[in-house]
Structure 1
Amino acid sequence: MRIALAQFNATVGDLSDNTEQMLQLAEQAREQGARLVLFPELAISGYPPEDLLLRPSFYQDVQVQLARLRAASVQIALAVGWPEWADGHRYNAVSVFDGGECIAHYRKMDLPNNEVFDERRYFSAGEHATVFALDGVRMGLNICEDIWHATAPRLAREAGAELLLVPNASPFHRGKEQERLEIARARAQESGLALLYCNWVGGQDELVFDGGSFAMNADGSVACQLPMFNSSLRCVDYQHGLLQSAEVDAWPEDEAAVYQALVVGVRDYIRKNGFPGVLLGLSGGVDSALTLAVAIDALGADKVHAVMMPSRYTADISVTDSREMIERVGCRYSEIDIWPIYEQFVGALAPEFSGLAADTTEENIQARCRGTLLMALSNKSGKLVLTTGNKSEMTTGYCTLYGDMAGGFAVLKDVSKMWVYQLCEYRNGISVRGLSNPIPQRIITRPPSAELRPDQTDQDSLPPYAVLDAIMERYVEHNQSMAEIMAAGFAEADVKRVVKLLKINEYKRRQAPVGIRITPRSFGKDWRYPITNRYFA
């Protein structure tokens, strides 16, 4: 039997287009001789549909598209994920259609409620294994989280399955593709079942789905592996109890995978939400340079507008380096001097500030001048403002509400400062659509500075980024306590400083735009700390 894995890029809630994509993929699979096509989890609705699942009309509209797919199964069998409403309960379900009929139906047993997943808010758990026969091959059905635990695959095996079909919606973070592969290998070897694993690809708000679908035999050997970050259809043959060897795509290394995730996240957020392009503030610093490179690679230079907004504290080399980068990438570029605007602000506030020394208030006014200008350009053009702050800054609050945080999408929100440097060097070492070395080297090597006062550097206010990022990773991503971090050799003063800054700036993060998740713990769906909070440990 020939089975097709069909990983594709859906849009949540675009039921008709998602279904149309599946019909087209089914026809391609039929032309390649496939008997069955496996689609990702909740293929009709996209993932995650979140509170769309609370609307009764949503299920009615899903049924319309389900009927289209059932009718198409007279040509080829289809394994389709969809949200089901039945007997007062909602289920994450998959149905197999063949010959215009439903020949199998399964409801997800293990509902994840960790990291970015919130399925117990919406779904009831299924209770029974499902095994069906197609051309003499007995197949079981599991969905995503089911194979992260031993029970569901074991029940499928006990019900007589020899091959397991596993539709998935498994989002990317660093190293996730290898983690999935090892989990699947453990389940295959425990259960004695070969399996076909089909994952989503594409960006959905802060999540990026990386594809990387695969076919694996019961001994854990990989027979077929699809590319990451690209829609793909691939067929694999099942003969004599084995999945036969097919094409195995190499997956990108760590830096390449992260960079591709950022590009896909930007591309799909802009495309799926219908923005004509993007704006961003270009400062001559490393964060805005990386954001610009990602935007160019995601959208093309014709859809990107970079704006340099110097003040009297902006170094000449910042302007020079920004202009040089624009020459390399070829996008639209503007320069707007903020100092006259800043002076108007300060002049208006002078009676209120009388007798008070200048402090970060005046620095923040500069940032807010820039934010106001970018948002005005956004309103006029319809383009979305990309913010340029990184995870290290979001952790410590080294960012200005309604200033550099003003915008609609935070490209580097989950990218630490040290990773920003790595990604800049990575991007300069590759060519994308003929563009290589887009970031001037001096932008990467010069000390980072907000340039809001004379001779300012980031390290005036923060620990060295190598130290800050290591503490942040331990505390935020691995939930280590301050005591554990200090026991690992970090200075008590640095640890307490970073954790204190993290705690007191929660209110800022609540007001930050959505941004791309590339670690196991981002400041988004999987970070839900109280703003009012006296716990400090």
Structure 2
Amino acid sequence: MRKIRIRIGCAQINCTVGDLEGNAERILAQTRRAEQLHIDIVAFPELAVCGYPPEDLLLKEKFIKDNLIQLEKITRNIKDIVAVIGFVDRDKKGIYNAAAIANRGRLQAVHRKMLLPNYGVFDEKRYFIPGATPCVCTLKTPEGNVRFGVSICEDIWHEDGPAVTQKRLGATFIINLNASPYHMDKITQREHIVRKLTRRYHMPVIYTNLVGGQDELVFDGQSFMMDARGNIIGRAKAFEEDLLVADLEMPILQKESRIPAAVVSHYGHLPHIEPSICPHLDAVPEVYAALRLGLADYVNKNGFKHVVVGLSGGVDSALVAVIAADALGSNRVSCVFMPSRYSSIESYNDARMLAGNIGAEVLEIPIETTYSTYL
């Protein structure tokens, strides 16, 4: 069976809920970078245009309309590359969690998420209608054509998901868009689920995840590519934006069909790219990185300029102050020590030393008078 080399990218970006223009600019910036690297297909996270989770913004008609306007703007600027982009689609029945397949200034196809999660932090059935038809596309190149399926997050977590039909329709690999929140060792769970699917259907999976903090949620990134045997061939950074790139050998399509097609010039003759495989973080660095990113994005995305941390001289407040200074810079952190009759000299000295070590301003506001007033 003849094969061609397809260059695929996972654009792991940090989106902000509601910042439609900013998210669109981020998508276009990564698309331009992908074009410079001669990538054939670049995949973005779930609901990348509007940010995840949009929650009750989805109840606003203007929000849905503006998200579609931004998708149209993005699509017009897609050139000789295929971009798979998460957005909110709609029809007369309602709205959908969807993925756009854009190429050469046109929207070539749309996948609507078929399996909607409604547990834990997910509440998608409140807003979205499930899609009815799995999406399969053909990538046309001068050297031959290949076929791939597109799915979104939960679609891939179930054995009876759209991959069954996509395989039957001739897809040889799956592109899966995600906004999968972090908890300890979540990456191991994700890779276990995807490994079962790749081995069951003998198809590689391109798993693109969101990165960044959004209110109470943190998304860790760690996008990955897995071959048909369940081996990791590339893994993106944890808790950072990244563009993961890999060259995959895919079988050439033998029969043509009326399945939607996207066209690229293709650069299969270029030197092979060896993808990075970023290691899993150990437990303590992983949790610290999650706290740091979550705090930084909560403060910055909500427009706060400065934070205040109360220091007791104990371990808990010391750790909070360290994370704040690391995430935001010590110039944006003020530490406050509020002594009373119960404060020891050791607590006073430790609080002062901690503030000095992280380079933060320290304020002393005695509360003895306030305390005595209530006696």
Structure 1 contact 43–80 (Cα < 8 Å) conserved:
yes
Matched with 1:147 is: 156
Task: Return the alpha-carbon distance in structure 1 between the equivalents of residues 56 and 12 of structure 2.
Answer: 24
Q: What TM-score, normalized to structure 2?
A: 0.90
Map 1:433-448; keep pairs closer than 5 Å: none
Q: Deviations over 1:2-46 (max 9, x none)?
A: 111100111100000000011010000000011121000001000
Shift of 1:287: 0.8
User: Identity, % of aligned pairs?
Assistant: 40
Report SS of the residue matched to 2:53. Answer: coil
Task: Return the alpha-carbon distance in structure 2 between the equivalents of residues 62 and 178 of structure 1.
Answer: 33
Structure 1 contact 84–90 (Cα < 8 Å) conserved:
yes
Q: Deviations over 1:73-109 (max 9, x none)?
A: 2332211110112113111000101122222211111
Shift of 1:171: 0.7
* Greater helix content: 1
1:297 corresponds to 2:307: no
Q: 1:310 aligns with which of 314, 335, 339?
A: 339
Q: Deviations over 1:46-69 (max 9, x none)?
A: 000000001111111011111111
Map 1:310-459; keep pairs closer than 5 Å: 310-346=339-375
Matched with 2:288 is: 259
1:283 corresponds to 2:312: yes
Task: Return the alpha-carbon distance in structure 1 between the equivalents of residues 123 and 66 of structure 2.
Answer: 23
Task: Return the alpha-carbon distance in structure 2 between the equivalents of residues 74 and 295 of structure 1.
Answer: 41
Structure 1 runs (4+) deviating above 6 angstroms are none
Task: Return the alpha-carbon distance in structure 2 between the equivalents of residues 245 and 181 of structure 1.
Answer: 20
Report SS of the residue matched to 1:234. Answer: strand
Residue 373 of structure 2 aligns with an amino acid whose one-letter code is Q
Report SS of the residue matched to 1:6. Answer: strand
Report SS of the residue matched to 2:71. Answer: helix
Report SS of the residue matched to 1:249. Answer: coil
Q: 1:21 aligns with which of 26, 31, 39?
A: 26
Kindly name which structure, 1 or 2, has the bigger radius of gyration based on alpha carbons: 1
Structure 1 contact 12–49 (Cα < 8 Å) conserved:
yes
Structure 2 contact 68–88 (Cα < 8 Å) conserved:
no
Task: Return the alpha-carbon distance in structure 1 between the equivalents of residues 158 and 51 of structure 2.
Answer: 24
Structure 2 contact 83–101 (Cα < 8 Å) conserved:
yes
Shift of 1:329: 1.1
Q: Deviations over 1:468-525 (max 9, x none)?
A: xxxxxxxxxxxxxxxxxxxxxxxxxxxxxxxxxxxxxxxxxxxxxxxxxxxxxxxxxx
1:205 corresponds to 2:219: no
Task: Return the alpha-carbon distance in structure 2 between the equivalents of residues 233 and 8 of structure 1.
Answer: 8
Matched with 2:299 is: 270
Q: 2:139 aligns with which of 134, 137, 140?
A: 134
Residue 287 of structure 1 aligns with an amino acid whose one-letter code is D
CA shift in 2, pair 1:241/1:335, >3 Å: farther
Q: 1:110 aligns with which of 106, 111, 115?
A: 115
Matched with 1:232 is: 242
Q: 1:247 aligns with which of 260, 272, 276?
A: 276
Structure 1 contact 108–143 (Cα < 8 Å) conserved:
yes
Structure 1 contact 129–159 (Cα < 8 Å) conserved:
no
Matched with 2:269 is: none
Structure 1 contact 305–332 (Cα < 8 Å) conserved:
yes
Task: Return the alpha-carbon distance in structure 2 between the equivalents of residues 117 and 241 of structure 1.
Answer: 37
Matched with 1:174 is: 184
Matched with 1:163 is: 173
Structure 1 contact 236–244 (Cα < 8 Å) conserved:
yes
Q: What TM-score, normalized to structure 1?
A: 0.63
* Greater strand content: 2
Structure 1 residue ranges without an equivalent (≥5): 347-537
Residue 17 of structure 2 aligns with an amino acid whose one-letter code is V
Shift of 1:154: 1.4
Task: Return the alpha-carbon distance in structure 2 between the equivalents of residues 88 and 239 of structure 1.
Answer: 40
Task: Return the alpha-carbon distance in structure 1 between the equivalents of residues 211 and 119 of structure 2.
Answer: 21
Structure 1 contact 166–198 (Cα < 8 Å) conserved:
yes
Report SS of the residue matched to 1:75. Answer: coil
Task: Return the alpha-carbon distance in structure 2 between the equivalents of residues 157 and 288 of structure 1.
Answer: 53
Task: Return the alpha-carbon distance in structure 2 between the equivalents of residues 241 and 168 of structure 1.
Answer: 26
Structure 2 contact 88–98 (Cα < 8 Å) conserved:
yes
Report SS of the residue matched to 2:197. Answer: helix
Task: Return the alpha-carbon distance in structure 1 between the equivalents of residues 91 and 111 of structure 2.
Answer: 13
Structure 1 contact 137–162 (Cα < 8 Å) conserved:
yes
Structure 2 residue ranges without an equivalent (≥5): 1-5, 253-271
Q: Deviations over 1:199-238 (max 9, x none)?
A: 0011000111000001111110111110100001122112
Shift of 1:345: 3.0
Matched with 1:73 is: 78
